[in-house]
Structure 1
Amino acid sequence: MRVAVVTESFLPHMNGVTGSVLQTLGHLERRGHEAYVIAPGAGREHALAMPGRAVPSLPLPRYPAVRVAAPPVASIARALRAFRPDVVHLASPFVLGWQGLLAAEAVDAPTVAVYQTDVISYTERYGLPRATALAASHVRRLHRRATLSLAPSAAARRQLEGLGVDRVSLWGRGVDGIRFAPHRRDEGWRARVAPGMRADEVIVGYVGRLAPEKQVEDLVALRGLPGVRLVVIGDGPARGALERRLPEATFLGHLHGDDLAVAMAGLDVFVHPGESETFGQTIQEAQASGVPVVATGRGGPLDLVRSSIDGWLYRPGDADDLRARVADIAGDAAKRRAFAEAARTAVSGRTWESLGDALLGHYARAATLHRIDRARPVRAWPRADPTAVDSAPPLWRRYVALGDSITEGLCDTSRAPAGSYRGWADRLAQLLALAGPRSHGAVRFSYANLAVRSRRVRHLVEEQVPACLSLRPDLVSVLIGANDLVQARVDVAAVAGEVEIAVRRLRESGADVVLGTVFLPSRMLAGVLARRFAAYNARLREIAAATGAILLDLEAVPELRGLEVWADDKVHLRSAGHRLVAYRAAEALGVPHAEALAGLDGAFHDDEDVPAAGTWLRRDALPWVWRRLRGRTAGDGVVAKLPAYVAVGPGPRSRSSLPQ
């Protein structure tokens, strides 16, 4: 088997992701498989000490050991095409992993996305609510798009499933039971880190990154605990603040290899306070070293620590409970011995060898799933599974588009009769109709477009949603809000709240909803509105996650900011922009090869838009000002262009009512 590994972190930076990747590579080599690594390069040196490619990267400003790389998809695709992988392993994918996912799709290779870093919780810990919504949206999009996702714990699997990710399997982490073992305990080491320690005193330690997302500040709860010497092993941006708050503690910095194994075995109690851990590798290493664990009762530790058997799980966020649990074990030598023996026994079967063989099985399953996906006309959610190969995928037969001028299709004159417009929703309807199966040659797809120019969110709730529900659709698109956000005064939260009301009503009817974020061109004046648009879109992402809507994150499509896709009036999309939105929507809905089809469509129909006559000032700006002075809008008196269903798609007796 040929396995390409795309990893967000690699040597020389050693962390949980790097360690897991190295173990995977070692197992592949021992089993006779070929591996190829794509990883961030360290500084100016871009060579890997193994087959693969190091890509240019930049260090995080406050955390230079962590490097971020986002090379062009095409460059990764070239590397993959040359290697010809049977599967692409995405290790803790986020930035580089997303590029790797797109590249794998370009070379038609299955992907296995290994969920290892809870970026969503990390952004919450750093107090970045907008970034949290973006992170959740990105994680959902990435793992839904991967062929198969692997979660390290039941809590992590529930988190992914809560984001709407299907095809999630459990794959934990192995532990090196030879390196991490009780016989590594060294009394000389203990004397050096805790000089003058009495026989009745114990060493309580933490091992890990010293950063806010690890909740290392919770260790302050152990300060002054009688009979306890606190040792902190690790480094990170929170070290200085923690040293000031724990002046009596011993800080050893970052340790690895045998030095870390000796330190781990030298502890009497191991403490793990982080609530956002998807697994907790250091917990396993402590258990293998014969050290009882006190960990928070949330996330990955729930799968590793058996409370009152090999350690304690304390109430998340309860510093008093943490202190009490540590005091309980520290003050009872017999309990420590019993917990330690049980912990060592619990991890005895969690070898990297067995985990590596299980991973090979997941690779094989991903290859099977990939073959099924390629055979399906529409990759809908939830996707097919080998146990249900013959089951038909969900199919949308009645699609209704809601929104304003963008969805109405203003300025998209490509292949449209004079005086009419096409638009991204019309294009999407045709893509969905052609992607779905037909029986006996009969057209089975219907489409209505209730969008009207200048409409605001209140019109969506009061007019469009009731009319839409009367049509009983099974798919609805909602793209609206820009007209509200450009007003002199606007309550962004209230506008988003009305959108949520609309989406919930549509979802309660049983329809799937595609919810689109709004976007701006790269113009100086647009920058004045950027903060409003970002806040509104962040709320839309939360609404999509809460309601189960399919997020069409157009704000995250950089091409839509380019002026070349905007029409002469500077506020609407030209045909190229509508094509881009249509194919992004098709991609979100699982239409196969949507990205390739988009390029083909653009090549055949390279903007037949008719240039607008007259100057922008007289043609667009002055009429807009005149309407505003009179309290009118461009949509006054305009009705929806398709208020009832039309048949879309080729058929023996019927032709589409839409422009071809």
Structure 2
Amino acid sequence: MRVALLAESFLPHMNGVTGSVLQVLRHLAEAGHETLVIAPRSGEVSADLHGARTELLRSVPLPSYPEVRVVFARAARLATILRSFDPDVVHLASPFVLGWQGVAAADALRVPSVAVYQTDVVSYAERYGLPHAQALVGAHIARLHRRATLTLAPSTASIAQLEDLGVDRLRRWGRGVDTDRFAPERRTAAWRSSVAGGRTVIGYVGRLAPEKQVADLAALADIDGARLVVVGEGPSRAGLEAALPSAVFTGHLGGADLAEAMAGFDVFVHPGESETFGQTIQEALASGVPVVATGTGGPVDLVRSSVDGWLYRPGDLRDLRARVADLVGDEGKRRAFGEAAREGMRNRSWDAVCRELVGHYEEARVLRPIDDRLPARAARPAGASPAGASVEPVAPADGGEAAPTRTSDAVGARTWRRYVALGDSLTEGLCDASRMPDGHFRGWADRLAELIAHADPGSALRYANLAVRSRKVGDVVTEQLGAALVLRPDLVSVLIGANDLVGRHCDPAALARDVEAVVRRLRDTGADVLLVTPFLPHRVAAHLFLERRFAVYAEHLRRVAAETGSILLDLQAKRRIGELDLWAADRVHLGSSGHRFVAYRAADALGVPDAEALAGLDAALHEHDPAVTGTWLGRDVLPWVWRRVRGRTAGDGLAAKHAGYVTVGGPGRARSRAETG
């Protein structure tokens, strides 16, 4: 399997996310899988990445926490990186900024994504003095994880939190622990003497940041016979050293030094209330050290109160002190709790956890084709599976890819009765002359109408095509939108903008705002909207300077689709659309094969059954596109220049192909007759 891992943070900054990614890389490599890491670049990476390829992207530090880096990479760039790697699954490690673009890129490439919820960003917003941002952050987290094919959460508390946000497709997946590295045998008298001089050691390991609530350790500073030892770095260190003058601050420790320190503790304390899991708790337990942790969030699943530690009442520092003092004063209890802690970690190895992770990858690969048959994947309502289906991966006897088994309602395409196409020459169908009389064209929208009608042979589809060659976004706003509203469609396709983008002066963001207004007006009527991103052919030198414009415009349209609940056909992200064999000789319009490609991709996006099979059959049976004669300069360029000089366009004086409805399909033989509404 080929796995692409997108991580919000990475080496050289070590934290829980980075540590988990490194463990996953190691175990995937040992199992024979290929990996790619996409992450922020923040310094030299010298660690063993176990053969993983890397794409480290330019990043900027958070002002209040420079060790944390943020990548602002567009989904189109990530899609290009992913396309070259050709992953079977995209693993999103603690996704937020980079992860949002990553899930969009995975969607564009129709690759399953597995989002690993590892950081309680909602609570972090409050801890960093941004309480008014909590609702916005929560909404962003909900959108992101609903868009992912599958979400893995590390604890029952984090699953409940995500469920409250409306996230579905949740699976429990914890973290492994290195029981060889973290073990009671790492305990040394020399280390203990150097930090505590024979006193009982109360230890903490983690980031020194507000969300970790390390300041709560002040309640333990004067327990008789004990020394507080704080391991870690972070933006709060200076303030904590001032508040805890009797504590020992070691700074960051890693490798054998961290293992020695962890085993050298007598009691491990974890005060943070925003933990989705608590990896350092596992490491302490594996080291045979009893744990006192807050009774909320991830620690609830890790600490067995009165067996290997204590859970204290969240926010109750008197209870925290009492629980720690109980263990400090009772060596026998510490020893019994420590033995139980070590025993409880024996079955939580990273090897076992990563085998479980691969199983989740396989499940996501089963679910993704089902999602591809549903419109508006990003707006999928909460529930275990689409359309109420219960899906389980079934291993085939021949060892091939597992296939889904639906045990309840079948997942099918939505039925539409009135379809209207808006756009320019691409939607009009220019150059798709295959099997048409001279001077007439079919086009992808005509073909899509036939596919929609094919999906429901018992009913007819009414279809109008208002597209006219050379039209721009402004023409859709002022002319085509009004005409479409009169027809009261329940499905509208919108492919527009290429003629604006090739102009001398162009603002892709402003164009996208105009398109967004059109889409919102249509959505307000209850119609579904199929929003299509414009595209360019590859290897055409004249188009090189236009590529950035098209990419920026497409990124805005992706946002519009997500925010309006529209169905996105992201052709700009599909490399195949740029191959020259799909284009007409003018390298401006699609040929018949290109229109067939777009029609079947659109049918896929709409969930039309058997679209892929029909596409293969169509390609096998279809004749080659009609041959063209003449040179490109004389046949295409000079007439275009001459029209521009005269202030004319190829669409002047032309009306829409189907200004009113025509009927496609229905019982008996297909028919076509004009209608008005």
TM exceeding 0.5: yes
In the TM superposition, residue 320 of structure 1 has moved relative to its aligned partner by: 0.5
3-state DSSP class of the match of 2:259? helix
Q: Distance in 2 between matches of 1:371 and 1:597?
A: 21
Q: Distance in 2 between matches of 1:436 and 1:156?
A: 45
Q: Does 1:217 align with 2:215?
A: yes
In the TM superposition, residue 579 of structure 1 has moved relative to its aligned partner by: 7.9
Percent same amino acid among aligned pairs? 54
Q: Distance in 1 between matches of 2:452 and 2:331?
A: 71
Given that residues 453 and 459 in structure 2 are in contact (C-alpha distance below 8 angstroms), is that contact kept between their aligned partners in structure 1? no
Q: Distance in 1 between matches of 2:319 and 2:186?
A: 30
2:536 match: none
Q: Distance in 2 between matches of 1:577 and 1:46?
A: 50
Q: Does 1:38 align with 2:38?
A: yes
* Residue-pair matches, total: 471
Q: Distance in 2 between matches of 1:221 and 1:283?
A: 20
Alignment of 1:577-616 (within 5 A): 583=531, 587=562, 592-596=567-571
Q: How far does the alpha carbon of each residue in 1:468-493 deviate from its partner, in whole angstroms, 9 at most, with x for none?
A: xxxxxxx9xxxxxxxxxxxxxxxxxx
Q: Distance in 2 between matches of 1:55 and 1:278?
A: 27
Given that residues 46 and 55 in structure 1 are in contact (C-alpha distance below 8 angstroms), is that contact kept between their aligned partners in structure 2? no
| TM-score for both structures, normalised by structure 1 | 0.64
In the TM superposition, residue 242 of structure 1 has moved relative to its aligned partner by: 1.1
1:389 match: 406
* Pair 1:106–1:48, CA change in 2 (3 A): farther
Q: Distance in 1 between matches of 2:75 and 2:294?
A: 40
Given that residues 284 and 347 in structure 1 are in contact (C-alpha distance below 8 angstroms), is that contact kept between their aligned partners in structure 2? yes
Q: Structure 1: where are the runs of 5+ without partners?
A: 400-412, 416-429, 445-474, 476-558, 605-646
* Residue number among 55, 58, 61 corresponding to 1:59 in the alignment: 61
* Pair 1:78–1:395, CA change in 2 (3 A): closer
Query: Residue 221 of structure 1 aligns to which amino acid in structure 2?
Result: A
Given that residues 565 and 576 in structure 1 are in contact (C-alpha distance below 8 angstroms), is that contact kept between their aligned partners in structure 2? no
In the TM superposition, residue 442 of structure 1 has moved relative to its aligned partner by: 6.1
3-state DSSP class of the match of 2:300? helix
Query: Residue 368 of structure 1 aligns to which amino acid in structure 2?
Result: V
Alignment of 1:159-238 (within 5 A): 159-195=161-197, 197=198, 201-238=199-236
In the TM superposition, residue 440 of structure 1 has moved relative to its aligned partner by: 2.4
2:253 match: 255
Q: Distance in 2 between matches of 1:657 and 1:130?
A: 55
3-state DSSP class of the match of 2:152? strand
* Pair 1:564–1:576, CA change in 2 (3 A): farther
* Pair 1:326–1:573, CA change in 2 (3 A): closer
Given that residues 453 and 461 in structure 2 are in contact (C-alpha distance below 8 angstroms), is that contact kept between their aligned partners in structure 1? no
Q: Distance in 2 between matches of 1:658 and 1:157?
A: 53
In the TM superposition, residue 374 of structure 1 has moved relative to its aligned partner by: 2.1
2:370 match: 372
In the TM superposition, residue 376 of structure 1 has moved relative to its aligned partner by: 3.9
In the TM superposition, residue 393 of structure 1 has moved relative to its aligned partner by: 5.1
Q: Distance in 2 between matches of 1:179 and 1:104?
A: 36
2:24 match: 24
* Residue number among 350, 353, 362 corresponding to 1:352 in the alignment: 350
Alignment of 1:16-415 (within 5 A): 16-43=16-43, 50-195=52-197, 197=198, 201-376=199-374, 379=377, 380-381=380-381, 382=383, 383=386, 384-387=389-392, 389=406, 391-392=409-410
Given that residues 308 and 338 in structure 2 are in contact (C-alpha distance below 8 angstroms), is that contact kept between their aligned partners in structure 1? yes
Q: Distance in 1 between matches of 2:461 and 2:324?
A: 69
Given that residues 89 and 111 in structure 1 are in contact (C-alpha distance below 8 angstroms), is that contact kept between their aligned partners in structure 2? yes
In the TM superposition, residue 129 of structure 1 has moved relative to its aligned partner by: 2.3
Q: How far does the alpha carbon of each residue in 1:381-402 deviate from its partner, in whole angstroms, 9 at most, with x for none?
A: 2324424625245998999xxx
Given that residues 264 and 286 in structure 1 are in contact (C-alpha distance below 8 angstroms), is that contact kept between their aligned partners in structure 2? yes
Query: Residue 440 of structure 1 aligns to which amino acid in structure 2?
Result: G
Q: How far does the alpha carbon of each residue in 1:143-200 deviate from its partner, in whole angstroms, 9 at most, with x for none?
A: 10001111111111111111111111111101011110001111111111113x3xxx
In the TM superposition, residue 279 of structure 1 has moved relative to its aligned partner by: 0.4
Q: Distance in 1 between matches of 2:107 and 2:168?
A: 18
Q: Distance in 2 between matches of 1:234 and 1:276?
A: 18
2:623 match: none
2:546 match: none
* Pair 1:26–1:45, CA change in 2 (3 A): closer
In the TM superposition, residue 590 of structure 1 has moved relative to its aligned partner by: 6.6
* Pair 1:565–1:25, CA change in 2 (3 A): closer
Q: How far does the alpha carbon of each residue in 1:6-32 deviate from its partner, in whole angstroms, 9 at most, with x for none?
A: 111111111111110000000111011
Work out which of the two has the higher radius of gyration on C-alpha atoms and give 1 or 2.
Answer: 2
* Pair 1:277–1:394, CA change in 2 (3 A): farther
In the TM superposition, residue 335 of structure 1 has moved relative to its aligned partner by: 0.6
3-state DSSP class of the match of 1:313? strand
Query: Residue 33 of structure 1 aligns to which amino acid in structure 2?
Result: H
Query: Residue 240 of structure 1 aligns to which amino acid in structure 2?
Result: A
In the TM superposition, residue 203 of structure 1 has moved relative to its aligned partner by: 0.7
Q: How far does the alpha carbon of each residue in 1:487-517 deviate from its partner, in whole angstroms, 9 at most, with x for none?
A: xxxxxxxxxxxxxxxxxxxxxxxxxxxxxxx
Given that residues 108 and 570 in structure 2 are in contact (C-alpha distance below 8 angstroms), is that contact kept between their aligned partners in structure 1? no
3-state DSSP class of the match of 1:144? helix
3-state DSSP class of the match of 1:109? coil
Given that residues 272 and 293 in structure 1 are in contact (C-alpha distance below 8 angstroms), is that contact kept between their aligned partners in structure 2? yes
In the TM superposition, residue 139 of structure 1 has moved relative to its aligned partner by: 0.7
1:440 match: 458
